[in-house]
Structures are given as C-alpha cells and as structure tokens.
Amino acid sequence: MSDPSQEPQKFEPRIVAFLCKWCSSAGSDLAGVSRLQYSPNATPITIPCSGSVSPLYILSAFNKGADGVLVSGCHPGDCHYMEGNYLARRKLYLVKELLQFVGLEPDRFRMSWVSAAEGAKFAQVVDGFVKDIRTLGPQNRLRR
Amino acid sequence: MVNPKEIRDYAAGLLEQGRVKSVIGYRRGTAGCFAEPCTLTEPGEAGSLVWDPTCLNNLALYLVKDRKQQAASRTPDRRPIGIVAKGCDSRAVAVLLQENYFKREEVVVIGVSCEGTGVVDPRKLKNSLKGRSALKVEFGGGESIRITTRAGESELPAREVLADRCLECREATPKLHDVLFGESLAERGYDAPFRAVKAAEATSGEARWATWQHHFDRCLRCFACRSVCPLCYCPECVVDSTSFVITPQTSAEEKANRIRWCERSANTAESALYHLTRAIHLAGRCVDCGECERVCPVNIPLRLLNTKLEMEAFEQFDYQAGRDYDRPALISSFRDEDPNSFIR
C-alpha cells in the first residue's frame, strides 16, 4: 500500500466568495439547509452589500493566494440599500476588465446575482466556478 | 500660435490687480532646453513665463500641493491662484473641482491651446536628434516642431517627437478656462484616442501577462507615479500605512495583526497590486496627462492601465473624466443599461 503522505497533493481550488448578507449569504444558507451537495472550495465572507466590496478586497484576495474570487449580490432592483448592487456592477466591471487587461485569466473573477431563495442557483454557481478553476489550475500570477 | 507675451501680460495683470496670490506657470529650466514649473508672486516676474513644447508638467499638481499646505498652515491664504493650463491640465483642474477639492472661484485658469501639436517626449527627442542636444524647441506652426541645435535650425513633423499622450489627445484645447490663448482645433491628424490600449488588447492574454509581468517585475516602488499625479492626493496612500504608529506600548500582536493590503517590497505580485489599485482608484478620474509614464524611471507604460479604464468608461458608460465634471463621478453613479451580461 502506498503512503498517502508521499502522493502528490491534488490541486484543490481555493475560492473566496464575497456574499451579500441580505441575499447570497442567505442563499448559501438555504443551499446548506436544503442539504444540497456542492463543492466545499468556496470560503464565504459575508459583507453588508455587494456595493461595499472594494476592488482592493478582490486584488488582495488574489495577492494572498485565492485561485478565484466570487462576488455575489442581490438581483438588480432588489438591493436592500436601493442601489448598492448597481454601483457594484459598474465598479466590478472595471475591475474585471483591468484584471483581464493585465492578463489574468477571465474565469478567475466572477460575479453573480443570487437571491435568498436561490439556494440551488448558489450551489450551481459555486460548482460551475470550481469546475472552471480546476481546468485553469492554481493562480500564480498575482500571488505573492 | 500662442504668443508667450500675451500669457505674461495676462499673468502680470492678475498679480497687479491682486486677483490672485500667485500664478503657477512654466519658466526656462536648468535641465537643457526643458521648461520647469514655477510660481510667480510678483508682477515683475511674469516676464520669465514661457510656453513651448517643452512645458511637460501637469501644473494642477501644484494646486493640490498648495491646498495641502494651506490646510496645514496656521494662517491659510485663501486667495485664488492662477494656473497656466494645457488641455490635459485643465481637465485635471476640472476633476478636482468635481471632487470639491477646491472651489471654482479659488482658481483662475489661464488656458493655452496646444493647437496642432502638444508637448515633446524627451526620449523621442533624444532619439530623433541622434545624440545632439536641443538648445531650443518651439512650435513650428501647424503640425510641426522647430528644433534648434548647435548645427542649426530644423523643422520636424510633430508626430516624430510628440509624447504618446499628445498623439492620442482628445482635447488639446482647455475646455475649462477663464481666458484662452491660442486657437481651438477640432481636427488633429494624429492617432485615434485609445489606439495604444486597443493594440495591446488585440494580443492574447498570455502575451499580455508576459508583458505586464516583465513591467511589474522592474518596478522599483519609487512611487514617482503617485507623487506626480495631480489626482493621487490622498493624505495616506492605501499601500503605506503611515497612520499606524508604533510606540513602545504597541504589542507584537498589534503589529502582526495590522492590516497590510500591500507590502512595500518590490516584487512582482506586490507591485502588480500597487499598480492595479492605483489604476482602479483613478478610474473615471484619470485625465490622461501621461505624467506617471513620463516620470517612471524604468519606463513602465503606466498610461496603458489608466487609459484602459478610461476607454471602458467612455465606451460602456459614456463618461469622460474632465469633460463631465458637472455630472456625478463615474463610480458613484450608474445607469440601468450598464453591462450586466458578465454576471451569472
């Protein structure tokens, strides 16, 4: 029998997920209480609103070793603070474009709208993201 | 063509009437033929003002510096300041006004039009002169630059020596001004705006990363780009936490747990983080004066990062920094038709 400690470690994507506390965070909770099976690779960070995500959070996550960053907020029109997700959309569009411009793979950064009732969608978003990151492999470009 | 005498007379007039406490302009410098920024406080000094293609600096920076000085001063002098502004300088003043950095009546903008040309790129000038040094660089009228060396006078097509930003300039005439010298030309026969960014975008992601990795790797973290930028005016930059004061009472735990967004060490990833953060902070604010690129000691094409975001702002959100200074800032506003398809 081979020694498991001698085997090369399989790459497990590390994903940082910034989840709005009013929707996506509750959505991830719903996925949990509904006993949906989905990838355990996403580390959730609950934030007050997707509009409160500073671009620095995303850059910093990549810098500190995230293989992918997910930002998830409420559907347009559903923001608890009226317009936070619209502001997030514009701001994070610029971040996405900038990251692509310097040559980070486009699939590393993702944004989604997940409401509190969409537990299944949350599981699907995370699964899809993990699958894409698995094919890309570890993120070494912005990692320090 | 702009006659420098007109600028001098106007500046002297402003100072004589006491309408301004000082005028920020350009005078003959000591570094070869290049002009240097200067602050005039006496009408008699106005004779030293110059205006030619070597007036590289963005003078809006000195408005910001004055503001900071006044804020720290016990006896602040709130009288207005006059400033000689090219198209790009005037855009920077406009963005500062939009951000309420100072009030409109606190600045007198003496607009000068670059007309058919702009300012020279010292590196391009050096190359085109093949080792000789220029004694004088003047506007040649139309789209040419007249250069005097020891061998005599020659006229070059402006395209050969103009700075990249001037080739892509979208507004060579200051739109925000109190007085304007020179003509406003609608058509200039140079590159379309954002040409360099579009060329860079046409390459593959791998190739772009290879280029940027090379550039970020060379970054010295001298922060010249930050110091020269008129819009990088934060008292404390996010990349260096100067407000974290270490006293004898500071525990090891506090030191270890303090937030470090970005380390100061000059390695590829940290420099990338610094430059990307800076680009994002300038999104919708960068007026494309190209100063960051000009002062970079290792020639990192920093302008590309900023113009990339300006291009997105213009194409996706119909927003131009310096043009839309009466509108809310780019990232504090939104429209229903903003791009949404990239979101799952």
Tell me the longest C-alpha to C-alpha distance in chain B. Answer: 68
What's the token pair of residue B226?
Answer: 């930050």
Q: Which pLDDT tens digit goes with each residue over A49-60?
A: 999 999 999 999
Identify the pLDDT of residue B152: 87
Domain boundaries along the sequence of chain A: 19-135
Q: Does the interface ipTM go beyond 0.90? A: yes
Give bridge partners of residue A73 from the DSSP assignment: A113
pLDDT at res. B286 = 94
Tokens matching residue A72:
């998830």
**DSSP one-letter string for A42-93:** EEEEEES-GGG--HHHHHHHHHTT-SEEEEEEPPTT--TTSSHHHHHHHHHH
The helix-helix angle for A119-136 and A24-33 (nearest 10°) equals: 100
Give the C-alpha separation, A63 to B79, whole Å: 46
Cβ burial of A77 (10 Å; 0-12, 13-18, 19+) is exposed
d(CA B2, CA A141): 49
- Could you tell me if B238 and A56 are in contact, meaning their C-beta atoms sit under 8 angstroms apart? yes
Question: Where do the domains of chain B lie?
Answer: 1-191, 196-331
B188 pLDDT more than 70 = yes
Interface test with A, best of B304, B334, B338 (most A CBs within 10 A): B334
Using pLDDT thresholds of 50, 70 and 90, give the confidence band for residue B115: confident
Candidates A93, A71, A50; CA nearest to B313 is A93
Strand locations in B48-132 (E): 81-85, 107-112
Closest CB to B209 among A94, A141, A144? A141
Chain A stretch 101-120, residues whose beta carbon is closer than 8 A to a beta carbon of chain B: 101-106, 110-113
The dihedral over CA atoms of B243, B246, B249, B252, expressed in degrees to the nearest 10, equals 110
Q: Which residues contact B75 (CB under 8 A, 6 or more apart)?
A: none
Residue A4 has pLDDT above 70, yes or no: no
| B279 phi, psi to nearest 5 deg | -60, -40
Quote the minimal CA–CA distance from B42 to chain A in Å.
Answer: 46
pLDDT of residue B166: 92
Instruction: Tell me what the mean pLDDT of segment B283-302 comes to.
Output: 94
Order of strands across the sheet that contains A15-20: A42-47, A15-20, A68-73, A109-113
Cα–Cα distance, A122 to A26 (Å, whole number): 10
| pLDDT digits 0-9 by tens, B43-99 | 999 999 999 999 999 999 999 999 999 999 999 988 999 999 999 999 999 999 999
Of residues B269, B313, B343, nearest to A142 (C-beta) = B269
Q: Rounded to a whole number, what is the distance in angstroms from the first to the last CA of chain A?
A: 37
pLDDT value at B183 more than 90: no
| pLDDT class of A2 with cuts at 50, 70, 90 | low
Q: pLDDT > 70: what percent of chain A?
A: 97
Closest CB from B269, B308, B330 relative to A98: B308
Q: Do B339 and A89 touch (CB under 8 A)?
A: yes
* Average pLDDT value over all residues in chain B: 91
The mean per-residue pLDDT over the stretch B315-339 comes to 91
Q: Give the tokens for residue B221.
A: 């973290």
Distance CA B55, CA A44 (A): 52
Is the confidence at residue B242, as pLDDT, over 80? no
A65 and chain B: CB distance < 8 Å anywhere? no
Asked whether residue A30 carries a pLDDT value surpassing 90, the answer given is yes
Burial of A4 (0-12, 13-18, 19+ CB in 10 A): exposed
CA-closest candidate to residue B291, choices B101, B64, B108: B64
Query: Is residue A135's pLDDT more than 90?
Result: yes
Closest residue in chain A to residue B206, using alpha carbons only = A103
Give the closest of A55, A101, A110 to B344, CB-based.
Answer: A110
Query: SS3 letters for B233-297?
Result: CCCCCCCCCCCCCCCCCCCHHHHHHCCCCCCCCCCHHHHHHHHHHHHHHCCCCCCCCCHHHHHCC
CA B24 – CA B34 distance, rounded (Å): 16
Q: Does B143 have pLDDT greater than 80?
A: yes
Amino acid at site A104: L
What would you measure as the largest C-alpha separation in chain A, in angstroms? 60
Contact B277 A56 (CB under 8 A): yes
Residue B105 scores a pLDDT above 90: yes
**Mean pLDDT, rounded, for A21-40:** 95
Residue with tokens 């002297």: B12
Mean of per-residue pLDDT scores for chain A = 93
Report pLDDT for A144: 83
- Phi, psi angles (nearest 5°) of residue B223: 60, 25
Instruction: Report the number of secondary-structure helices (H) and strands (E) in chain B.
Output: 13, 8
Per the structure block, which two tokens stand in for B9?
A: 């007379």
In whole angstroms, give the CA distance from residue B275 to residue B278: 5
Contacts (Cβ under 8 Å, ≥6 apart) of B108: B14, B19, B20, B80, B81, B82, B83, B178
Taking 80 as the threshold, does the pLDDT of residue B243 lie above it?
A: no
Using the Cβ of A56 and the Cβ atoms of chain B, whether some distance falls under 8 Å is answered with yes
To 5 degrees, how large is the angle CA B113–CA B116–CA B121? 90
Q: Which of A3-7, B176-180, B210-214 has the lowest mean pLDDT?
A: A3-7
pLDDT confidence band for A79 (50 / 70 / 90): very high
Q: Please check the confidence at residue A1 and state whether its pLDDT lies above 60.
A: no
* Axis-axis angle for helices B87-98, B60-72 (nearest 10): 40
Q: pLDDT, tens digit, for every residue of B2-18?
A: 888 999 999 999 999 99
- The pLDDT > 70 percentage for chain B reads 99
> If we measure between CA atoms, which residue out of A78, A71, A70 comes closest to residue A117?
A78
